[in-house]
Structure 1
Amino acid sequence: MLLFGRETLTDEMFTFQTARLLALADDMERVRRGVPPEAMADEEAPILDRWILAQRAVPCLAGLSTGHPLLFGEGRLIGTSDLWLLSEDRTWARTLSRWYRLGRPAEQAGLDS
């Protein structure tokens, strides 16, 4: 997650993360078209041995949603997709799926504690 605003988001951080996401999107499109990984991967691609599928926690938001295009209702409790951007003033957030206007934080938000 990147914190954005005048004081926190540098061009370098934003450029780096944007490039990573664009590269992933490009590879996903190539896979969809049938391009094999061998044609896309660097010859020096690392080997991952004795691997397992794992899960890790990623930043997201949870709260009472109103006006969500897919999760209908007013004040409906939801959890968002991965959180990518959060404004310094905590009024806007961008998840993998969409922008959210942020209302009041919960009493124990945890971001600044």
Structure 2
Amino acid sequence: MLLFTPREHPNEAFVFETERLARLVADMEGIRRGEPPQALAGGEDAPILDRWILGHRPVPCLAGLSTGHPRLSGVNRAIATSDLWLMSEDRTWARTLSRWYRLGRPVEQSRPDA
């Protein structure tokens, strides 16, 4: 997940991820057009991954009470979002893999007894 502030010059991490995702989308569009992976990957220059397995790792997401979701109808419906990619530094907007969310109040954090 990247933090962002709307401005003319985004930070290096934001630029890096934007460029990386643009390359992914370009490859996906190439596959859709029928280009073979060998051509998209640069042929013999692509690295080899040997003795591989399919792994899983957790990714950041948001969970909360949703109102006005286009696919998960209801008021204050408990949901978990798709992968969280962007959050405004002021914590008022978030972009998941699927869509933008306006962020309301965060859950109150419990305080240890003094």
Q: What TM-score do the two structures reach when normalised by structure 1?
A: 0.86
* Structure 1 position 5 matched with structure 2 position 5: yes
Aligned residue type for 1:38? Q
Structure 2 partner of 1:56: 57
- Sequence identity of aligned pairs in percent? 70
Structure 2 partner of 1:66: 67
Structure 2 partner of 1:83: 84
**SS in structure 2 of the partner of residue 26 of structure 1:** helix
Structure-1 separation of matches of 2:39 and 2:18: 23
**SS in structure 2 of the partner of residue 73 of structure 1:** coil
**Deviation (angstroms), 1:55:** 0.8
Note if contact 2:65-2:77 (Cα within 8 Å) is conserved in structure 1.
yes
**SS in structure 1 of the partner of residue 19 of structure 2:** helix
5+ residue gaps, structure 1, are: none
Structure-1 separation of matches of 2:38 and 2:3: 36
**SS in structure 1 of the partner of residue 82 of structure 2:** coil
Structure 2 partner of 1:103: 104
Structure 2 partner of 1:29: 29
5+ residue gaps, structure 2, are: none
1:62-109 C-alpha deviation (Å, 9 max, x unpaired) = 100000011100000111111111111111111111111111111249
Relative to structure 2, which stretch is displaced further, 30-39 or 69-78? 30-39
| Structure of higher CA gyration radius | 2
> In the comparison of the two structures, how many residue pairs are matched?
108
Structure 1 partner of 2:14: 14
**SS in structure 2 of the partner of residue 106 of structure 1:** coil
Structure-2 separation of matches of 1:108 and 1:57: 22
Structure-1 separation of matches of 2:4 and 2:38: 37
Q: What TM-score do the two structures reach when normalised by structure 2?
A: 0.85
Note if contact 2:3-2:86 (Cα within 8 Å) is conserved in structure 1.
yes
